[in-house]
Amino acid sequence: MATREGTWAYRDAHDDFARTFFRRFGDGIISSIGVGTYLGDPTDERDERYEEAIRTALESGVNVVDTAINYRHQRSERAVGRALADADIDREAAVVATKGGFVPFDGERPADPGAFVKREYVDTGLVDRADLVGGQHCIAPAYIDDQLDRSLDNLGLDTIDLYYVHNPETQLAEKSHEQVYGQLEAAFERLEERVDAGDIDHYGVATWDAFRVSADHETYLSLPEVIKRARAAAQSAGNTATHFRAVQLPFNVFMADAFTVTAHEGADGPQSALWFAHEAGLDVFTSAAIMQGRLATEMPERVETKLSGETRAQRAINFARSAPGVTCSLVGTGSVEHARENVDAGRYEPLGADAFDAVFE
């Protein structure tokens, strides 16, 4: 797993980036740009391109790789594993994150997805039908156990640095908020046990809507309540402190809700997800930095003129990592060319606090 010594040595070997490119993560240090692996067809050719891109990023100054078991039907995790094994980098230098929650296919989409899920997960007892929402999502402890084991195998790792419960707000389609908080607490308790077993180092919650919408929104989850449940889970597992470490949410020029929507009750009143997470000591990893390519071709001029970077994609990345409280911005990186462009964004300074605030005036 990533270590203090490994990540700091990596930082020292890549000292040609702009100030604040590397940021603290626990007692280690990581790049503020990370590799995302969501997009792409489930093909061998795409796998090879991902492997080359990830190796390029890891060897060039980016030491964060984010994936999920359901991305590209488990192919992304497997590509990450092969890239980590082949890259000229110590395992202890890189932070690897993955996620569990969505039921994954295996290599390709089956002809009958519903029959696959029933045969492989429900009939085998891995998933209780009552815990399966929309035929595709489950966060029950036994299921999370199974998915974590599969992710360890796919990645070829002994320990995953950061394991997310993936989009728990999906459960709200069929369950009450109180039920979902209870499910999260049960999942967190199991993850605390997996920390104790050495299978993961930290865990968190990766979301799309939950933390950036208003409190009256149907997909809202309270970050203070989630943290409260994580602390209760740690206590139940016999740990003196929670290993709940991070949240992931989308943030970019067009999706700035995590900074602008004050929906989480802090000591002095409602706060945005970014500010609350920062004050709670959580690391924030942002997704959709270039909005699946849209920001590479389209950006408001009044924002773009304030940003540094040779290309529009680099400027979009630098906007995302300028937000207060952001540890790392994840960028989909499916080719060597994109990997180099994304890495080079880190050679430009992000916006300072005053300049970032001015964007929203």
Over residues 15-44, the pLDDT tens digits come to 999 999 999 999 999 999 999 999 999 999
Confidence at residue 146, expressed as pLDDT on a 0 to 100 scale: 98
* Residue owning tokens 């009256």: 216
Is the pLDDT at 52 greater than 80? The verdict is: yes
Task: Give the H or E element holding residue 33.
Answer: strand 33-36
Q: pLDDT above 90 covers what percent of the chain?
A: 95
Name the superfamily (CATH) of residues 4-341: NADP-dependent oxidoreductase domain (3.20.20.100)
Q: Categorise residue 178: left if φ over 0, alpha if ψ from -120 to 50, beta otherwise.
A: alpha
Confidence of residue 180 (pLDDT cuts 50, 70, 90): very high
Confidence of residue 74 (pLDDT cuts 50, 70, 90): very high
Render 151-172 in DSSP notation, one character per residue: HHHHHT-S-EEEEEEE-GGGGG
Confidence at residue 40, expressed as pLDDT on a 0 to 100 scale: 95
Q: pLDDT above 70 covers what percent of the chain?
A: 100
The answer to whether the beta carbons of residues 199 and 159 sit under 8 Å apart is yes
Confidence of residue 296 (pLDDT cuts 50, 70, 90): confident
Confidence at residue 157, expressed as pLDDT on a 0 to 100 scale: 98
Over residues 196-249, the pLDDT tens digits come to 999 999 999 999 999 999 999 999 999 999 999 999 999 999 999 999 999 999
Confidence at residue 355, expressed as pLDDT on a 0 to 100 scale: 86
HSE on the CB side for 245, CA within 13 Å? 20
Hey, where are the domains in the chain? 4-341
CA-to-CA distance for 210 and 177, rounded, in angstroms? 11
Over residues 281-291, the pLDDT tens digits come to 999 999 999 99
Is the pLDDT at 185 greater than 90? The verdict is: yes
CA-to-CA distance for 26 and 161, rounded, in angstroms? 11
Confidence at residue 69, expressed as pLDDT on a 0 to 100 scale: 98
The whole-number average pLDDT for the span 116-141 is 97
Is the pLDDT at 254 greater than 90? The verdict is: yes
Confidence at residue 3, expressed as pLDDT on a 0 to 100 scale: 98
Average pLDDT, the chain: 97
Confidence at residue 292, expressed as pLDDT on a 0 to 100 scale: 85
Residue 190 CB-density burial (10 A; 0-12 exposed, 13-18 middle, 19+ buried): buried
The CB density around residue 306, as the number of other CB atoms within 10 Å, is 16
Least Cα distance to 287 among 171, 203, 206, 166 occurs for 206
| Beta-strand pair 28-31/200-206 | unpaired
Confidence of residue 293 (pLDDT cuts 50, 70, 90): confident
Question: What is the pTM (predicted TM-score) of this model?
Answer: 0.97
CA-to-CA distance for 267 and 281, rounded, in angstroms? 14
